[in-house]
Structure 1
Protein backbone atom coordinates (compact mmCIF):
# COMPACT_ATOMS: atom_id res chain seq x y z
CA UNK A 1 0.00 0.00 0.00
CA UNK A 2 1.14 3.54 -0.77
CA UNK A 3 -0.37 7.00 -0.69
CA UNK A 4 1.67 8.15 -3.71
CA UNK A 5 -1.33 7.43 -5.97
CA UNK A 6 -4.87 7.79 -4.63
CA UNK A 7 -7.84 5.79 -5.94
CA UNK A 8 -11.52 6.69 -6.02
CA UNK A 9 -14.22 4.77 -7.90
CA UNK A 10 -17.69 6.11 -8.72
CA UNK A 11 -20.20 5.63 -11.54
CA UNK A 12 -17.98 3.08 -13.25
CA UNK A 13 -15.02 5.50 -13.42
CA UNK A 14 -11.77 5.09 -11.50
CA UNK A 15 -9.93 8.31 -10.61
CA UNK A 16 -6.21 7.91 -9.99
CA UNK A 17 -4.52 10.96 -8.48
CA UNK A 18 -0.74 11.29 -8.51
CA UNK A 19 -0.19 12.38 -4.93
CA UNK A 20 3.17 14.04 -4.32
CA UNK A 21 2.11 17.70 -4.58
CA UNK A 22 5.09 18.99 -2.59
CA UNK A 23 7.34 17.45 -5.26
CA UNK A 24 5.06 18.47 -8.16
CA UNK A 25 3.86 14.86 -8.36
CA UNK A 26 7.27 13.66 -9.53
CA UNK A 27 7.27 10.03 -10.65
CA UNK A 28 9.28 8.29 -7.94
CA UNK A 29 10.02 4.58 -8.15
CA UNK A 30 7.50 3.93 -5.38
CA UNK A 31 4.83 5.95 -7.21
CA UNK A 32 5.39 4.12 -10.51
CA UNK A 33 5.30 0.70 -8.84
CA UNK A 34 2.09 1.51 -6.96
CA UNK A 35 0.59 3.04 -10.12
CA UNK A 36 1.25 -0.24 -11.98
CA UNK A 37 -0.29 -2.26 -9.13
CA UNK A 38 -3.45 -0.16 -9.21
CA UNK A 39 -3.75 -0.58 -12.98
CA UNK A 40 -3.49 -4.36 -12.53
CA UNK A 41 -6.31 -4.22 -9.99
CA UNK A 42 -8.52 -1.96 -12.11
CA UNK A 43 -8.12 -4.10 -15.22
CA UNK A 44 -9.96 -7.01 -13.56
CA UNK A 45 -12.52 -4.87 -11.71
CA UNK A 46 -15.79 -5.33 -13.59
CA UNK A 47 -17.23 -2.26 -11.86
CA UNK A 48 -14.70 -0.01 -13.62
CA UNK A 49 -15.13 0.85 -17.29
CA UNK A 50 -12.80 3.84 -17.63
CA UNK A 51 -9.87 5.44 -15.80
CA UNK A 52 -9.08 9.13 -15.32
CA UNK A 53 -5.61 10.20 -14.16
CA UNK A 54 -4.82 13.62 -12.68
CA UNK A 55 -2.39 15.28 -10.27
CA UNK A 56 -2.83 16.45 -6.70
CA UNK A 57 -2.62 20.14 -5.90
CA UNK A 58 -2.96 23.22 -8.07
CA UNK A 59 0.48 23.36 -9.68
CA UNK A 60 1.27 20.11 -11.45
CA UNK A 61 -0.06 17.05 -13.20
CA UNK A 62 3.46 15.65 -12.96
CA UNK A 63 6.77 17.44 -13.38
CA UNK A 64 8.38 14.19 -14.53
CA UNK A 65 10.79 11.71 -13.01
CA UNK A 66 12.13 12.20 -9.51
CA UNK A 67 15.56 13.61 -10.38
CA UNK A 68 17.02 13.15 -6.89
CA UNK A 69 16.16 9.44 -6.97
CA UNK A 70 17.13 9.02 -10.62
CA UNK A 71 20.52 10.68 -10.12
CA UNK A 72 21.32 8.09 -7.46
CA UNK A 73 20.72 5.33 -10.01
CA UNK A 74 22.87 7.17 -12.58
CA UNK A 75 25.71 7.34 -10.07
CA UNK A 76 25.69 3.52 -9.92
CA UNK A 77 26.22 3.19 -13.66
CA UNK A 78 24.33 2.62 -16.88
CA UNK A 79 23.06 -0.87 -16.10
CA UNK A 80 21.48 0.23 -12.83
CA UNK A 81 20.02 3.43 -14.31
CA UNK A 82 18.47 1.56 -17.25
CA UNK A 83 17.07 -1.16 -15.00
CA UNK A 84 15.70 1.08 -12.25
CA UNK A 85 14.64 4.17 -14.20
CA UNK A 86 14.28 3.56 -17.93
CA UNK A 87 12.62 0.14 -17.84
CA UNK A 88 10.36 1.12 -14.97
CA UNK A 89 9.13 4.24 -16.78
CA UNK A 90 8.73 2.46 -20.11
CA UNK A 91 6.80 -0.31 -18.38
CA UNK A 92 4.35 2.29 -17.06
CA UNK A 93 3.83 4.09 -20.37
CA UNK A 94 3.47 0.80 -22.27
CA UNK A 95 0.90 -0.37 -19.70
CA UNK A 96 -1.11 2.84 -20.05
CA UNK A 97 -0.99 2.70 -23.84
CA UNK A 98 -2.15 -0.92 -24.05
CA UNK A 99 -4.61 -0.80 -21.13
CA UNK A 100 -7.82 -2.50 -22.27
CA UNK A 101 -10.09 0.13 -20.74
CA UNK A 102 -10.02 3.78 -21.85
CA UNK A 103 -7.52 5.89 -19.92
CA UNK A 104 -8.03 9.66 -19.87
CA UNK A 105 -5.46 12.19 -18.68
CA UNK A 106 -6.91 15.20 -16.87
CA UNK A 107 -3.89 17.49 -17.09
CA UNK A 108 -4.33 20.05 -14.33
CA UNK A 109 -0.94 21.80 -14.39
CA UNK A 110 2.67 21.17 -15.34
CA UNK A 111 3.23 18.06 -17.46
CA UNK A 112 6.98 18.03 -17.93
CA UNK A 113 9.27 15.18 -18.91
CA UNK A 114 7.76 11.92 -17.67
CA UNK A 115 4.50 13.75 -16.98
CA UNK A 116 4.29 14.63 -20.64
CA UNK A 117 5.26 11.08 -21.60
CA UNK A 118 2.47 9.45 -19.61
CA UNK A 119 0.06 11.92 -21.24
CA UNK A 120 1.35 10.84 -24.66
CA UNK A 121 0.76 7.20 -23.74
CA UNK A 122 -2.82 7.59 -22.51
CA UNK A 123 -5.67 7.03 -24.95
CA UNK A 124 -7.27 10.45 -24.46
CA UNK A 125 -6.43 13.70 -22.69
CA UNK A 126 -8.24 16.81 -21.49
CA UNK A 127 -6.10 19.76 -20.42
CA UNK A 128 -6.80 22.70 -18.16
CA UNK A 129 -6.10 26.08 -19.71
CA UNK A 130 -3.46 26.40 -16.97
CA UNK A 131 -1.57 23.28 -18.13
CA UNK A 132 1.97 23.62 -19.47
CA UNK A 133 3.95 20.93 -21.23
CA UNK A 134 7.66 20.41 -21.90
CA UNK A 135 10.26 17.90 -23.03
CA UNK A 136 13.13 19.26 -20.90
CA UNK A 137 15.33 16.15 -20.72
CA UNK A 138 17.88 17.68 -23.09
CA UNK A 139 18.60 20.29 -20.41
CA UNK A 140 19.83 17.42 -18.25
CA UNK A 141 22.03 16.16 -21.08
CA UNK A 142 19.88 13.14 -21.94
CA UNK A 143 17.03 12.01 -24.18
CA UNK A 144 13.56 11.24 -22.84
CA UNK A 145 13.44 7.70 -21.49
CA UNK A 146 9.76 6.83 -20.95
CA UNK A 147 8.93 6.68 -24.67
CA UNK A 148 8.96 10.39 -25.51
CA UNK A 149 11.28 10.05 -28.51
CA UNK A 150 8.86 7.54 -30.03
CA UNK A 151 5.32 8.60 -29.13
CA UNK A 152 5.58 12.37 -29.60
CA UNK A 153 6.77 12.11 -33.23
CA UNK A 154 3.90 9.70 -33.90
CA UNK A 155 1.44 12.22 -32.45
CA UNK A 156 2.87 15.51 -33.67
CA UNK A 157 5.05 14.62 -36.67
CA UNK A 158 8.83 14.36 -36.82
CA UNK A 159 9.79 18.02 -37.25
CA UNK A 160 7.40 19.45 -34.69
CA UNK A 161 8.42 16.79 -32.17
CA UNK A 162 12.12 17.35 -32.77
CA UNK A 163 11.76 21.08 -32.16
CA UNK A 164 10.32 20.38 -28.71
CA UNK A 165 12.75 17.56 -27.94
CA UNK A 166 15.85 19.50 -29.03
CA UNK A 167 15.01 22.86 -27.45
CA UNK A 168 13.38 21.72 -24.22
CA UNK A 169 11.07 24.74 -24.46
CA UNK A 170 7.76 24.55 -22.64
CA UNK A 171 4.48 25.00 -24.49
CA UNK A 172 0.85 25.81 -23.77
CA UNK A 173 -2.20 23.61 -23.57
CA UNK A 174 -3.45 25.18 -26.79
CA UNK A 175 -0.24 24.19 -28.57
CA UNK A 176 -0.59 20.68 -27.14
CA UNK A 177 -4.07 20.61 -28.70
CA UNK A 178 -2.67 21.67 -32.08
CA UNK A 179 -0.03 18.92 -31.86
CA UNK A 180 -2.61 16.23 -31.09
CA UNK A 181 -1.22 15.62 -27.60
CA UNK A 182 -4.58 16.45 -25.98
CA UNK A 183 -8.16 16.20 -27.23
CA UNK A 184 -9.47 19.40 -25.71
CA UNK A 185 -8.60 22.37 -23.52
CA UNK A 186 -11.11 23.61 -20.96
CA UNK A 187 -11.30 26.21 -18.20
CA UNK A 188 -9.44 24.95 -15.14
CA UNK A 189 -12.57 24.59 -13.02
CA UNK A 190 -14.21 22.51 -15.78
CA UNK A 191 -11.35 20.00 -16.08
CA UNK A 192 -12.71 17.12 -14.01
CA UNK A 193 -16.33 17.54 -15.19
CA UNK A 194 -15.06 17.49 -18.80
CA UNK A 195 -12.94 14.39 -18.22
CA UNK A 196 -15.83 12.58 -16.53
CA UNK A 197 -18.22 13.61 -19.29
CA UNK A 198 -15.84 12.16 -21.88
CA UNK A 199 -15.58 8.91 -19.91
CA UNK A 200 -19.37 8.67 -19.63
CA UNK A 201 -19.78 9.13 -23.40
CA UNK A 202 -17.56 6.07 -23.83
CA UNK A 203 -19.27 4.05 -21.09
CA UNK A 204 -22.54 4.17 -23.08
CA UNK A 205 -21.10 1.52 -25.38
CA UNK A 206 -20.08 -2.15 -25.14
CA UNK A 207 -16.96 -2.59 -22.96
CA UNK A 208 -15.75 -5.39 -25.20
CA UNK A 209 -16.20 -3.29 -28.34
CA UNK A 210 -14.27 -0.50 -26.62
CA UNK A 211 -11.48 -2.92 -25.82
CA UNK A 212 -11.28 -4.23 -29.40
CA UNK A 213 -10.99 -0.67 -30.75
CA UNK A 214 -8.22 0.22 -28.28
CA UNK A 215 -6.35 -2.98 -29.19
CA UNK A 216 -6.69 -2.45 -32.94
CA UNK A 217 -5.55 1.18 -32.79
CA UNK A 218 -2.70 0.74 -30.29
CA UNK A 219 -1.19 -2.33 -31.91
CA UNK A 220 -2.01 -1.25 -35.45
CA UNK A 221 0.00 1.98 -35.20
CA UNK A 222 3.19 -0.09 -35.28
CA UNK A 223 2.10 -2.30 -38.20
CA UNK A 224 1.85 -1.90 -41.93
CA UNK A 225 -1.65 -1.05 -43.17
CA UNK A 226 -2.07 -4.63 -44.43
CA UNK A 227 -1.17 -6.09 -41.04
CA UNK A 228 -3.37 -3.52 -39.32
CA UNK A 229 -6.35 -4.48 -41.45
CA UNK A 230 -5.87 -8.12 -40.51
CA UNK A 231 -5.78 -7.09 -36.86
CA UNK A 232 -8.95 -5.05 -37.34
CA UNK A 233 -10.68 -8.12 -38.80
CA UNK A 234 -9.53 -10.25 -35.88
CA UNK A 235 -10.95 -7.76 -33.39
CA UNK A 236 -14.27 -7.70 -35.27
CA UNK A 237 -14.35 -11.51 -35.21
CA UNK A 238 -14.09 -11.38 -31.41
CA UNK A 239 -17.38 -9.48 -31.36
CA UNK A 240 -19.36 -11.69 -33.75
CA UNK A 241 -20.41 -14.40 -31.22
CA UNK A 242 -21.12 -11.93 -28.41
CA UNK A 243 -24.52 -10.71 -27.20
CA UNK A 244 -23.12 -7.17 -27.35
CA UNK A 245 -23.16 -7.19 -31.15
CA UNK A 246 -26.39 -9.18 -31.51
CA UNK A 247 -28.32 -6.94 -29.14
CA UNK A 248 -26.98 -3.74 -30.68
CA UNK A 249 -27.90 -4.89 -34.19
CA UNK A 250 -31.38 -5.86 -33.08
CA UNK A 251 -31.86 -2.51 -31.34
CA UNK A 252 -30.78 -0.72 -34.53
CA UNK A 253 -33.23 -2.74 -36.64
CA UNK A 254 -36.04 -2.06 -34.19
CA UNK A 255 -35.38 1.70 -34.34
CA UNK A 256 -35.35 1.50 -38.14
CA UNK A 257 -38.68 -0.37 -38.19
CA UNK A 258 -40.20 2.20 -35.85
CA UNK A 259 -38.95 5.10 -37.99
CA UNK A 260 -40.35 3.51 -41.12
CA UNK A 261 -43.71 2.92 -39.45
CA UNK A 262 -43.88 6.56 -38.31
CA UNK A 263 -43.08 7.77 -41.82
CA UNK A 264 -45.80 5.54 -43.26
CA UNK A 265 -48.38 7.03 -40.88
CA UNK A 266 -47.33 10.65 -41.24
CA UNK A 267 -46.78 10.43 -44.99
Structure 2
Protein backbone atom coordinates (compact mmCIF):
# COMPACT_ATOMS: atom_id res chain seq x y z
CA UNK A 1 0.00 0.00 0.00
CA UNK A 2 1.19 3.49 -0.78
CA UNK A 3 0.87 6.69 1.23
CA UNK A 4 -1.50 9.26 -0.26
CA UNK A 5 0.02 12.73 -0.06
CA UNK A 6 -2.24 14.82 -2.31
CA UNK A 7 -5.93 14.63 -3.14
CA UNK A 8 -6.96 17.20 -5.72
CA UNK A 9 -9.96 17.67 -7.96
CA UNK A 10 -8.33 16.20 -11.07
CA UNK A 11 -5.49 14.03 -9.75
CA UNK A 12 -4.00 12.34 -6.70
CA UNK A 13 -0.44 11.72 -5.53
CA UNK A 14 0.78 8.63 -3.68
CA UNK A 15 4.20 7.41 -2.60
CA UNK A 16 4.76 3.70 -3.18
CA UNK A 17 8.15 1.97 -2.87
CA UNK A 18 9.62 5.45 -2.51
CA UNK A 19 8.18 6.50 -5.89
CA UNK A 20 5.78 9.40 -6.41
CA UNK A 21 2.77 8.24 -8.43
CA UNK A 22 0.59 10.98 -9.92
CA UNK A 23 -2.74 9.48 -10.98
CA UNK A 24 -4.98 11.45 -13.32
CA UNK A 25 -8.62 11.09 -12.29
CA UNK A 26 -10.59 13.54 -14.49
CA UNK A 27 -12.21 10.93 -16.72
CA UNK A 28 -15.90 11.32 -15.91
CA UNK A 29 -18.44 12.53 -18.46
CA UNK A 30 -16.01 12.18 -21.34
CA UNK A 31 -13.43 14.54 -19.84
CA UNK A 32 -10.55 12.17 -20.76
CA UNK A 33 -8.07 14.01 -18.49
CA UNK A 34 -8.25 17.05 -20.73
CA UNK A 35 -6.24 20.15 -19.91
CA UNK A 36 -7.55 23.45 -18.58
CA UNK A 37 -5.82 26.16 -16.57
CA UNK A 38 -7.24 24.65 -13.38
CA UNK A 39 -5.85 21.22 -14.29
CA UNK A 40 -2.42 22.72 -15.05
CA UNK A 41 -2.41 24.38 -11.62
CA UNK A 42 -2.78 20.91 -10.09
CA UNK A 43 0.13 19.61 -12.17
CA UNK A 44 2.24 22.48 -10.84
CA UNK A 45 1.22 21.67 -7.26
CA UNK A 46 2.19 18.04 -7.80
CA UNK A 47 5.56 19.01 -9.28
CA UNK A 48 6.17 21.30 -6.29
CA UNK A 49 5.66 18.38 -3.92
CA UNK A 50 8.04 16.12 -5.83
CA UNK A 51 10.73 18.80 -6.07
CA UNK A 52 10.65 19.38 -2.31
CA UNK A 53 11.03 15.68 -1.47
CA UNK A 54 14.50 15.22 -0.02
CA UNK A 55 15.20 11.54 -0.68
CA UNK A 56 15.90 9.80 -3.97
CA UNK A 57 12.65 9.20 -5.86
CA UNK A 58 11.10 9.18 -9.32
CA UNK A 59 7.77 10.43 -10.66
CA UNK A 60 5.30 8.17 -12.48
CA UNK A 61 2.35 9.83 -14.22
CA UNK A 62 -0.53 7.43 -14.86
CA UNK A 63 -4.30 7.04 -15.01
CA UNK A 64 -6.56 4.23 -13.87
CA UNK A 65 -9.03 4.70 -16.73
CA UNK A 66 -9.31 1.66 -18.99
CA UNK A 67 -8.73 3.47 -22.27
CA UNK A 68 -7.52 7.07 -21.84
CA UNK A 69 -4.31 8.68 -20.58
CA UNK A 70 -5.05 12.25 -21.71
CA UNK A 71 -6.53 13.69 -24.88
CA UNK A 72 -4.94 17.11 -24.46
CA UNK A 73 -6.53 20.55 -24.32
CA UNK A 74 -10.21 20.78 -23.48
CA UNK A 75 -11.11 22.58 -26.70
CA UNK A 76 -14.73 23.24 -25.70
CA UNK A 77 -13.47 24.98 -22.57
CA UNK A 78 -10.71 26.83 -24.43
CA UNK A 79 -13.18 28.25 -26.93
CA UNK A 80 -15.05 29.95 -24.07
CA UNK A 81 -11.94 31.76 -22.83
CA UNK A 82 -11.01 35.36 -23.51
CA UNK A 83 -7.75 36.20 -25.27
CA UNK A 84 -6.22 36.78 -21.84
CA UNK A 85 -7.50 33.42 -20.60
CA UNK A 86 -6.13 31.61 -23.63
CA UNK A 87 -2.73 33.24 -23.15
CA UNK A 88 -2.73 32.29 -19.47
CA UNK A 89 -3.44 28.69 -20.41
CA UNK A 90 -0.66 28.66 -23.01
CA UNK A 91 1.84 30.16 -20.57
CA UNK A 92 0.95 27.62 -17.86
CA UNK A 93 1.14 24.70 -20.28
CA UNK A 94 4.62 25.82 -21.32
CA UNK A 95 5.54 26.14 -17.64
CA UNK A 96 4.32 22.61 -16.84
CA UNK A 97 6.19 21.16 -19.83
CA UNK A 98 9.48 22.86 -18.96
CA UNK A 99 9.26 21.91 -15.31
CA UNK A 100 8.39 18.30 -16.11
CA UNK A 101 11.16 17.97 -18.71
CA UNK A 102 13.74 19.39 -16.26
CA UNK A 103 12.27 18.03 -13.02
CA UNK A 104 14.83 17.26 -10.33
CA UNK A 105 13.91 13.54 -10.33
CA UNK A 106 13.60 10.88 -13.06
CA UNK A 107 10.19 10.70 -14.73
CA UNK A 108 8.12 7.92 -16.34
CA UNK A 109 4.85 8.32 -18.26
CA UNK A 110 2.64 5.25 -17.85
CA UNK A 111 0.42 5.48 -20.93
CA UNK A 112 -2.58 3.28 -20.18
CA UNK A 113 -4.62 4.34 -23.22
CA UNK A 114 -5.08 7.14 -25.71
CA UNK A 115 -2.50 9.94 -25.44
CA UNK A 116 -3.42 12.63 -27.92
CA UNK A 117 -2.26 16.20 -28.58
CA UNK A 118 -1.33 17.88 -25.29
CA UNK A 119 -1.55 14.53 -23.51
CA UNK A 120 1.02 13.05 -25.88
CA UNK A 121 3.18 16.16 -25.49
CA UNK A 122 3.13 15.76 -21.70
CA UNK A 123 4.19 12.13 -22.08
CA UNK A 124 7.00 13.23 -24.41
CA UNK A 125 8.39 15.46 -21.65
CA UNK A 126 9.00 12.41 -19.44
CA UNK A 127 12.35 10.64 -19.48
CA UNK A 128 10.73 7.32 -20.38
CA UNK A 129 7.37 6.07 -21.56
CA UNK A 130 5.76 2.67 -21.07
CA UNK A 131 2.52 1.92 -22.87
CA UNK A 132 -0.35 -0.51 -22.90
CA UNK A 133 0.12 -3.15 -25.60
CA UNK A 134 -3.49 -3.95 -26.41
CA UNK A 135 -5.26 -0.60 -26.36
CA UNK A 136 -4.62 3.10 -26.89
CA UNK A 137 -2.84 5.26 -29.43
CA UNK A 138 -0.16 7.93 -29.30
CA UNK A 139 -0.86 10.88 -31.58
CA UNK A 140 -0.17 14.53 -32.36
CA UNK A 141 -3.32 15.61 -34.27
CA UNK A 142 -2.46 19.32 -34.23
CA UNK A 143 -2.22 19.47 -38.03
CA UNK A 144 -5.82 18.23 -38.26
CA UNK A 145 -7.28 20.42 -35.50
CA UNK A 146 -5.47 23.54 -36.75
CA UNK A 147 -3.38 24.21 -33.64
CA UNK A 148 0.30 24.93 -34.42
CA UNK A 149 3.04 23.81 -32.05
CA UNK A 150 4.64 26.49 -29.89
CA UNK A 151 8.45 26.80 -29.62
CA UNK A 152 8.38 24.92 -26.31
CA UNK A 153 6.01 22.16 -27.42
CA UNK A 154 8.16 21.63 -30.52
CA UNK A 155 11.25 21.13 -28.38
CA UNK A 156 9.42 18.73 -26.08
CA UNK A 157 8.19 16.61 -28.99
CA UNK A 158 11.75 16.53 -30.34
CA UNK A 159 12.79 14.69 -27.16
CA UNK A 160 11.24 11.55 -28.65
CA UNK A 161 14.10 9.38 -29.96
CA UNK A 162 12.97 8.91 -33.56
CA UNK A 163 13.22 11.88 -35.90
CA UNK A 164 11.41 10.19 -38.80
CA UNK A 165 8.50 9.13 -36.60
CA UNK A 166 8.24 12.65 -35.21
CA UNK A 167 8.15 14.08 -38.73
CA UNK A 168 5.35 11.72 -39.76
CA UNK A 169 3.37 12.31 -36.57
CA UNK A 170 3.43 16.11 -36.61
CA UNK A 171 2.86 16.50 -40.37
CA UNK A 172 0.22 13.81 -40.92
CA UNK A 173 -1.38 13.33 -37.50
CA UNK A 174 -0.87 9.56 -37.69
CA UNK A 175 -1.88 7.69 -34.52
CA UNK A 176 0.40 4.83 -33.42
CA UNK A 177 -0.58 1.80 -31.36
CA UNK A 178 1.55 0.60 -28.48
CA UNK A 179 3.16 -2.07 -30.67
CA UNK A 180 3.98 0.54 -33.32
CA UNK A 181 5.36 2.90 -30.68
CA UNK A 182 7.66 0.17 -29.42
CA UNK A 183 8.85 -0.62 -32.95
CA UNK A 184 9.55 3.10 -33.48
CA UNK A 185 11.36 3.43 -30.13
CA UNK A 186 8.82 6.00 -28.92
CA UNK A 187 8.20 3.95 -25.76
CA UNK A 188 10.60 1.83 -23.73
CA UNK A 189 8.27 -1.13 -23.33
CA UNK A 190 4.66 -2.27 -23.74
CA UNK A 191 2.55 -4.35 -21.38
CA UNK A 192 -0.94 -5.73 -20.83
CA UNK A 193 -3.18 -3.47 -18.77
CA UNK A 194 -2.83 -5.42 -15.52
CA UNK A 195 0.97 -5.40 -15.79
CA UNK A 196 1.51 -1.85 -16.99
CA UNK A 197 1.66 0.15 -13.77
CA UNK A 198 3.91 -2.40 -12.06
CA UNK A 199 6.28 -2.17 -15.03
CA UNK A 200 6.31 1.63 -14.79
CA UNK A 201 7.00 1.51 -11.06
CA UNK A 202 9.77 -1.08 -11.51
CA UNK A 203 11.46 1.20 -14.04
CA UNK A 204 10.98 4.21 -11.76
CA UNK A 205 12.57 2.31 -8.86
CA UNK A 206 15.60 1.50 -11.02
CA UNK A 207 15.96 5.15 -12.00
CA UNK A 208 15.52 6.36 -8.41
CA UNK A 209 18.53 4.26 -7.44
CA UNK A 210 20.75 6.65 -9.41
CA UNK A 211 22.20 9.69 -7.68
CA UNK A 212 19.42 12.23 -8.11
CA UNK A 213 21.59 15.29 -8.75
CA UNK A 214 23.94 13.53 -11.17
CA UNK A 215 21.08 11.93 -13.13
CA UNK A 216 19.27 15.24 -13.59
CA UNK A 217 22.45 17.16 -14.40
CA UNK A 218 23.26 14.71 -17.20
CA UNK A 219 19.69 14.60 -18.55
CA UNK A 220 19.24 18.36 -18.47
CA UNK A 221 22.53 18.84 -20.27
CA UNK A 222 21.03 16.97 -23.22
CA UNK A 223 17.93 19.19 -23.09
CA UNK A 224 19.68 22.51 -23.59
CA UNK A 225 17.01 23.97 -25.87
CA UNK A 226 14.31 23.36 -23.29
CA UNK A 227 16.65 24.62 -20.58
CA UNK A 228 17.07 27.87 -22.52
CA UNK A 229 13.29 28.30 -22.65
CA UNK A 230 13.09 27.48 -18.94
CA UNK A 231 15.67 30.11 -18.06
CA UNK A 232 13.75 32.74 -20.00
CA UNK A 233 10.58 32.08 -18.00
CA UNK A 234 12.38 31.92 -14.66
CA UNK A 235 12.54 28.18 -13.99
CA UNK A 236 15.47 26.96 -11.88
CA UNK A 237 16.87 23.52 -12.71
CA UNK A 238 19.80 21.25 -11.92
CA UNK A 239 22.77 22.06 -14.14
CA UNK A 240 21.70 25.66 -14.73
CA UNK A 241 24.74 27.81 -15.62
CA UNK A 242 25.83 30.18 -12.89
CA UNK A 243 24.92 33.80 -13.49
CA UNK A 244 27.64 35.62 -15.37
CA UNK A 245 29.21 32.41 -16.70
TM interval, shorter chain, is: 0.7 to 0.9
Cross-structure match for 1:110: 114
1:24 aligns with 2:32: yes
Q: How does 1:121-160 map to 2 (within 5 A)?
A: 121-129=125-133, 130-145=135-150, 147-160=152-165
Q: What CA distance in whole angstroms lies between the structure 2 residues aligned with 1:157 and 1:182?
A: 10
Which has the greater radius of gyration? 1
Alignment partner for residue 58 of structure 2, among 50, 64, 70? Answer: 50
CA RMSD in angstroms, aligned pairs only: 2.5
Matched, 1:92 2:100: no
Query: In 2, Cα distance between the equivalents of 1:213 and 1:139?
Result: 36
- Post-superposition shift, 1:206? 2.4
- The structure showing larger relative contact order (alpha-carbon pairs under 8 Å, at least 6 residues apart) is 2
| Alpha-carbon distance between aligned partners in 1 of 2:126 and 2:45, rounded to the nearest angstrom | 17
Where does residue 248 of structure 1 map in the other structure? none
Q: Which has the higher helix share?
A: 1
Secondary structure, aligned partner of 2:222:
helix
TM-score (norm 2): 0.80
The answer to whether 1:216 aligns with 2:221 is: yes
Equivalent-residue separation in structure 2 for 1:191 and 1:113 (angstroms): 22
- How many residues align? The count is 221
| Aligned with residue 72 of structure 1, among 77, 80, 86 | 80
Mapped partners of 1:178, 1:221: distance in 2: 26
Residues 70-100 of structure 1 show CA distances to partners (whole Å, capped at 9, x for unaligned) of 1122xx34x542x222211111111110001
Q: Does 1:3 align with 2:5?
A: no
- The yes-or-no answer on 1:185 pairing with 2:190 is yes
> Where does structure 2 lack aligned partners over 5 or more consecutive residues?
1-6, 229-237, 240-245
Unaligned runs of at least 5 residues, structure 1: 224-233, 236-267
Partner of 1:243: none
Deviation of 1:222 after TM superposition, in Å, equals 7.5
Between the aligned partners of 1:40 and 1:4, the Cα distance in structure 2 is 16
